Amino acid sequence: MRLTLVCLMKPVLHGYFRSSCSWRVRIAFALKGIEYDQVAVNLIKDGGQQLTEQYKTLNPMQQVPAVEIDDITLSQSLAVIQYIDETRPGPRLLPADPKARAQVRMISDLIASGIQPLQNLSVLQKIGVEKLPWAQHFINRGFQALEPILKQTAGKYCVGDEISMADICLIPQVYNAERFKVDVGQYPTIKRLNETLAEIEAFKLSHPSRQPDTPADLQA
């Protein structure tokens, strides 16, 4: 008799309930129906738990998320999401058509490179000007660009009628916009997509108000 030992390790997400990049990964896991463990990295407590030497080995950028999956450790949420998509069954997170894939990546990168890094905690801590107008400026600049793009690409969701990585990026960015008191009503397509996506179970379950590390007063 031959004994085969199959070791199925669940992926581990090191993240923070309110981090929009952690939320992106939580949505991807939820859409794919992948079970995972969460380790909380509190960005505020103890001067920021992402700054410890121990965490630095997981993500040398000292940001969340970091994901241990299979036998590698990945950071950068879009790299993680595309790795999950390429190695796991379940609904596609990027469409099959190359042009639609390019549009999904364009929208995702517009948010992940063009908006989020500029309203990130570590940047807001360093700027010499007022934080709220700074964050509003860069979110509005991004949304002013995103709105006409989405008007062209969107069907029911950001690109056509299938949920994709673009939607995964959009909803946490709208959440950030609301935190920084940006009037999302100025962007009718963004607003409509956000309302549609907010009703979907994978987006609800992964919401910052429903995580193991969500403080009691912020729980839904």
Residue with the two structure tokens 């997509």: 193
Q: Which of 44, 132, 145, 205 binds its own copies (CB under 8 A)?
A: 145
Rounded to whole angstroms, the Cα distance separating 142 from 132 reads: 16
The SS3 call for residue 69 is strand
Considering only 33-41, 79-87, 181-189, 202-210, which stretch makes contact with its own copies by CB under 8 A?
79-87
Q: Which residue has the tokens 């738990």?
A: 49
Closest C-alpha among 129, 26, 121, 35 to residue 80: 26
Region near its own copies per CB under 8 A, out of 93-101, 156-164, 187-195, 201-209? 93-101
Q: Using CA atoms, how far apart are residues 62 and 53, in angstroms rounded to an integer?
A: 9
Q: Does residue 89 interact with its own copies by CB under 8 A?
A: no
CA distance 12 to 9: 9
Per-residue binding string, its own copies, 33-62, x by CB under 8 A, is --------------------------xxxx
Q: Which residues bind its own copies (CB under 8 A)?
A: 59-63, 70, 72, 74-76, 78-80, 82-83, 86-87, 98-99, 101-103, 105-106, 108-110, 112-114, 116-118, 123, 126-129, 134, 137, 141-142, 144-149
